[in-house]
Structure 1
């Protein structure tokens, strides 16, 4: 497979990805007129906030900048703001933090680094011996600050794809301000420079793949409007070195009704070409994967008789690795259950697709899920969650079939396989927890040996704090787990300032992790933090996710409220001291909680959110998420979406807590329009509101460490005022 590296601060390109404490395009069509709250605007009236649909429009940006100034002015007058900002910058820019390693070619180690001097960041490289020494001597490959200055852009490094086996020619992705849309340029790693007259692709939401050193596959918007309803490309062309884009030859076309589609290349672990493949996203969760066994020019595709919810997760020793997200019965009548990881000989299956009979590598129980799958030179590695705690298992396939063992990494922690080596069996794994700073391990997936490399310094005083796991009972009697981080001697009198966080969507698990910002600005100062593992997430596999899909999403909202009520019943906190926070899909969750249960919260932080669930399919990449939320044009699903849409359920005469909306102008995935119009609606109704829109940053909400620090300082000043100052 072509080597791929990603900026360590990048959330990837999952339209709903969000990090634990804060988040992940451009309006493709103007949102249709809002069918607003009958207490506000009659159904037949023109949308009074339509001007906010124009992302960079003069009137819209004047509105944004005015609200930004107001929010910063009000919150920065609090002396804690400058204190928080200084503390956060010290944490985020600390030069003694672990430089997250990524395996490069020939045993070299890569890292992407940002600090107070390197604001946009450095892509740099060193040897393993130098990295291991603790005082690595880095060679800069690409200086993003220098590039940004030279070109007058705020370039955000999005990583790229390097051509194996040498991995010297790389297609680098550069995002202007953090957008999903990017520019692609060919780069020579050995020389540390962009290749003159090399491959260059103008800004677009696009996908590229190496075929050979003179050929790439490009999937992009070739002619204006040639994108899906979600705003993604679905036509792939072959581009030869030296050709202009208009000389590229079409090789694959999906359907305009797809979420996205593309043709690519399957390689083995050594980088050898195996065959072409194609992908069609039928919706967010259902896909059509096709294989072309006879080479690049082959147009005869084979589609295996697997469920469209099954995902292709790797090619290992000739075996195709799939993850099932629904039950499936093979031609022989074998029942493979939802959540199973299965494998079979790919070439044999393509020769006789009607008789595919896989083996099961791993079948999670009801308390487990598979977080990730990766590969080393000789091993297949699964990251597994058990009761929201991690383990890593190493698998091998030989004459006797599949065998595996558990790698001896720390128990009861969150483990993240950050990089694996294609040329050896080495893995880099981070371990951390709410109160345990990150520790980096190097593990051998073949022998099972584990070496501790280094631990990050403690960034806050955790003395006297403890982590507990509780279970709340939701409306349908489902037990919903949550973690509570608080002082051991916490007084159960309902006065503890508490932040409750959740995500609950797209099958994405939210796990315990060490957050220096949360610890320094909140836990150290006596605050408590709760993390709710509600349905819709991926903590317990596909069934936990599917339980809150579409019209069943009420379960996620009920789960969240059940956790809040459990915290109150335990007298950990009470409404005057309880605040909630979430981003992206979690921003929708916060919006629903704001409008449905304003009596439960005294602070609500709503980050890069979806809020208009009647019109979301016409906003940015929203059409791609109908598999998660449903179709607003469907009578049943549409009625449900209207009933929970925060933008359509703000009522006159209700005492709402003063919310804090945060978004980014450069967010071309969810888009800033949701947050803009919800905040404007609050203003139109005479309701107090905080609003901050970072001009850059994309769906992550910030493009560099300084922007992150400002956002955190604003959030925690707001939370401190709302939840701590009333004790």
Structure 2
């Protein structure tokens, strides 16, 4: 299950700022985001189609007694039925075997010749943070040394700790590493952060520690943190993010930290940023997210009180510093004032960093790489002696090496062992080893080692096949949307698939926030769906980033219906080709993808017979009042702006529910501890099905955050429930239909 809805810390990650966080490895990774709840059930509710006020606001009381009683009743009903299915236990065991198997690649981060990794399995449910020398890591049986046992820590402290990553910093070359470890109680995005010393493998006594909040930190030096957090009433934005950055000195109370930059409550959020130069100098600053897609970057020069604005467009993402050049990607066209150049949205450009620091004016900007119509820039990774460019080309990832000479910038493709999806798993400016990830729908993950000095690519790790791919094929087709645009999609199917409309087919989509959906290997999907004869389809609809910023921006706000038209076009194309039929076609999506499947449920109930709606947005007239919803108005539109509200009224699944419609039986999934997308969305929509006596399934994990699972056992259960439901709905050989 892929879950996105980016904001806060994810904005910084996309910007290429300090991103020394080690995050948990899961088979299908979810982006970590910071959010807050800023609405109550007493807020004025929008009118429903029948002219009444919303009668189900009580379901927005996340841990309200009545709301949780309803949730538990629905969980009992759904679990009782789906877990009683003969398919369930086998599916659960298969999923658990995949998710807790030792036969997984332990992706890691290199520090001083040691590879650091976070690992979960059946024994270590909450996980281990561990390390091993690079030479040992390259062997078949690495000698791992445990740094933190989070199961043991949770038991000792009486908390349901979920590890959310570590932000690490080495003040001096060859010196000790200090880390701020993020811990979430139950999987929420709100965390506490505690200082940890890697040399002693212990939390630092009297070290930095923060209260629970949606927050961000960056190391300024060994004794100083930049921190943005909830400082008390009136210090968070309407989206629930911090907007005040302070400089916190070791040995002083957090309350005495010095304010260095303040945004406003109308910002999405303000976050500390540190750009590290090649000589190790750290440029302190902050990123002020004025909107979800625009940011102002600030430099905080040493010894000065007034911040200096970086002279870059609001829709651009810093990518790092290489050979004295400050690199950034553009999400808008840009003609720098006073310069005889112009750049296109999607370009990678650069300027002289030292010249800017000296003059505080924009130096000459030069083009590094301009993607063609079939390409999109994903990002830049800086290693010791090389800069690597990650791109998509026709929705397949490639890695290029950047070069700089008298004739300007050049690129050369890094040769990989075959054709598949490639990406950069690890790179660091002080390390000359780069880890590359290589996979495909039917090709298990491989971890490759790229040696910057020699240019050699060599295999480090390769997963064994975790499901049977014999007789399976991968194809890419194109569907024509309502405006004539060709929409690509991948399909994995049996080579002997009959074109008689009988193949059970699962269509997955996302369509938002410039997030690309690329080929990936999922053994859970392979065992629980493909091995059972089902076909899987990944739709590269607009709203994503598969073809650059314009592909995303084509579906913003009032233009959003085109995203849903794209998805419908893919569904109709599958039927037109004879691959499947409405009786055998199901759809799945999570988070923003949950909104997608919710819209599809009410707009085209005739087109599919199974709809999986994971941790969704569904009440689009109220979403901006719930948790981080206000940060997404630049994607969806603002319900308080009349013309934008008018459009949202046409797509909002909750308001467009028709009590007389013949809907397929949906499956709603939510999480009580999700402090990103409010569980009230799924609860209220499911309640409409209940009161109109329409069949539905509903399961809400009491823990788990936005991923709807706090550990691998819960992830396995969720996956088994989903695929039992899909088999019941879409096959004629499985269990009895609902």
- Indicate the TM-score class for this superposition, using the shorter chain for normalisation: over 0.9
Residue 348 (structure 1) shift: 1.3
Report whether the alignment pairs 1:114 with 2:133: no
Match of 2:488 among 481, 494, 498: 481
Match of 2:182 among 173, 177, 182: 173
Verify the 8 A CA contact 2:612 2:667 in the aligned structure 1: yes
Residue 318 (structure 1) shift: 2.0
Query: Which residue is equivalent to 2:150?
Result: 144
Report whether the alignment pairs 1:29 with 2:36: no
Report whether the alignment pairs 1:52 with 2:62: no
Call closer, same or farther: CA 1:413–1:152 in 2, change over 3 Å.
same
Query: Which residue is equivalent to 2:220?
Result: 211
> Tell me, what secondary structure is at the counterpart of 1:576?
helix
Q: C-alpha offsets along residues 106-150 of structure 1, whole Å, 9 cap, x if unaligned?
A: 111111110000000000000011111111110000111001111
Verify the 8 A CA contact 1:408 1:448 in the aligned structure 2: no
Query: Which residue is equivalent to 1:7?
Result: 24
Query: Which residue is equivalent to 2:545?
Result: 538
Query: Which residue is equivalent to 1:21?
Result: none
Question: Mean Cα displacement is larger for which, 461-470 or 223-232?
Answer: 223-232
Verify the 8 A CA contact 1:2 1:210 in the aligned structure 2: no
Residue 403 (structure 1) shift: 3.4
* Distance in 1 of aligned mates of 2:25 and 2:419: 24
Residue 267 (structure 1) shift: 1.5
Call closer, same or farther: CA 1:718–1:74 in 2, change over 3 Å.
same
Query: Which residue is equivalent to 2:619?
Result: 612
* Distance in 2 of aligned mates of 1:224 and 1:92: 42
Q: C-alpha offsets along residues 602-651 of structure 1, whole Å, 9 cap, x if unaligned?
A: 00000111111101110000000111111111121110011100000001
Matches within 5 A, 1:348-359: 348-352=355-359, 355-359=362-366
Q: C-alpha offsets along residues 375-429 of structure 1, whole Å, 9 cap, x if unaligned?
A: 1112111111000111101124466643332111245311121111433321111
Match of 1:291 among 295, 299, 302: 299
Question: Mean Cα displacement is larger for which, 373-382 or 653-662?
Answer: 373-382
* Distance in 2 of aligned mates of 1:689 and 1:345: 59
Query: Which residue is equivalent to 1:275?
Result: 283
Match of 2:167 among 161, 167, 171: 161
Verify the 8 A CA contact 1:506 1:536 in the aligned structure 2: yes
Residue 208 (structure 1) shift: 1.0
> Tell me, what secondary structure is at the counterpart of 2:184?
strand
* Distance in 1 of aligned mates of 2:430 and 2:318: 22
* Distance in 2 of aligned mates of 1:493 and 1:429: 41
Call closer, same or farther: CA 1:56–1:203 in 2, change over 3 Å.
same
Call closer, same or farther: CA 1:420–1:550 in 2, change over 3 Å.
same
Match of 2:208 among 199, 207, 210: 199
Q: C-alpha offsets along residues 318-368 of structure 1, whole Å, 9 cap, x if unaligned?
A: 211111111111222311111000011123134445553211111011110
Residue 58 (structure 1) shift: 1.5
Report whether the alignment pairs 1:38 with 2:44: no
Query: Which residue is equivalent to 1:412?
Result: 419
Call closer, same or farther: CA 1:581–1:351 in 2, change over 3 Å.
same
Verify the 8 A CA contact 1:130 1:136 in the aligned structure 2: yes
Call closer, same or farther: CA 1:289–1:360 in 2, change over 3 Å.
same
Verify the 8 A CA contact 1:207 1:219 in the aligned structure 2: yes
* Distance in 1 of aligned mates of 2:299 and 2:529: 52
* Distance in 1 of aligned mates of 2:446 and 2:311: 43
> Tell me, what secondary structure is at the counterpart of 2:21?
strand
Matches within 5 A, 1:625-636: 625-636=632-643
> Tell me, what secondary structure is at the counterpart of 1:64?
helix
> Tell me, what secondary structure is at the counterpart of 2:618?
coil
Report whether the alignment pairs 1:679 with 2:686: yes
Residue 13 (structure 1) shift: 3.0
> Tell me, what secondary structure is at the counterpart of 2:449?
strand
Call closer, same or farther: CA 1:641–1:446 in 2, change over 3 Å.
farther
Question: Mean Cα displacement is larger for which, 239-248 or 196-205?
Answer: 239-248
> Tell me, what secondary structure is at the counterpart of 2:96?
helix
Query: Which residue is equivalent to 2:711?
Result: 704
Question: Mean Cα displacement is larger for which, 273-282 or 395-404?
Answer: 395-404
* Distance in 2 of aligned mates of 1:317 and 1:300: 28
Residue 516 (structure 1) shift: 0.4
Call closer, same or farther: CA 1:684–1:26 in 2, change over 3 Å.
farther
Q: C-alpha offsets along residues 7-29 of structure 1, whole Å, 9 cap, x if unaligned?
A: 223633357xxxxxxxxx35222
Report whether the alignment pairs 1:570 with 2:570: no
Matches within 5 A, 1:513-552: 513-552=520-559
> Tell me, what secondary structure is at the counterpart of 1:482?
strand
Query: Which residue is equivalent to 2:11?
Result: none
Match of 2:191 among 182, 185, 203: 182
> Tell me, what secondary structure is at the counterpart of 2:429?
coil
Match of 1:389 among 396, 405, 411: 396
Verify the 8 A CA contact 1:306 1:328 in the aligned structure 2: no
* Distance in 1 of aligned mates of 2:273 and 2:550: 30
Query: Which residue is equivalent to 1:261?
Result: 270
Unaligned runs of 5+ in 1: 16-24
* Distance in 2 of aligned mates of 1:533 and 1:74: 34
Residue 269 (structure 1) shift: 4.3
Verify the 8 A CA contact 2:503 2:584 in the aligned structure 1: yes
* Distance in 2 of aligned mates of 1:59 and 1:197: 42
* Distance in 1 of aligned mates of 2:452 and 2:507: 37
Q: C-alpha offsets along residues 416-455 of structure 1, whole Å, 9 cap, x if unaligned?
A: 2111143332111111111111111101244321001231
Verify the 8 A CA contact 1:123 1:140 in the aligned structure 2: yes
* Distance in 1 of aligned mates of 2:640 and 2:733: 45
* Distance in 2 of aligned mates of 1:346 and 1:475: 46
Q: C-alpha offsets along residues 87-116 of structure 1, whole Å, 9 cap, x if unaligned?
A: 11111111122222321x211111111000
Verify the 8 A CA contact 2:131 2:145 in the aligned structure 1: yes
Verify the 8 A CA contact 1:581 1:590 in the aligned structure 2: yes
* Distance in 2 of aligned mates of 1:315 and 1:341: 13
Matches within 5 A, 1:231-380: 231-269=240-278, 272-292=280-300, 294-295=301-302, 297-330=303-336, 331-352=338-359, 355-380=362-387
* Distance in 2 of aligned mates of 1:391 and 1:155: 37
CA RMSD of aligned residues (A): 1.7
> Tell me, what secondary structure is at the counterpart of 1:425?
strand
> Tell me, what secondary structure is at the counterpart of 1:277?
strand
Residue 301 (structure 1) shift: 2.9
> Tell me, what secondary structure is at the counterpart of 1:556?
helix
Q: TM-score, normalised by structure 2?
A: 0.94
Query: Which residue is equivalent to 2:6?
Result: none
> Tell me, what secondary structure is at the counterpart of 2:354?
helix
Q: TM-score, normalised by structure 1?
A: 0.95
* Distance in 2 of aligned mates of 1:355 and 1:149: 54
Unaligned runs of 5+ in 2: 1-17
Call closer, same or farther: CA 1:445–1:395 in 2, change over 3 Å.
farther
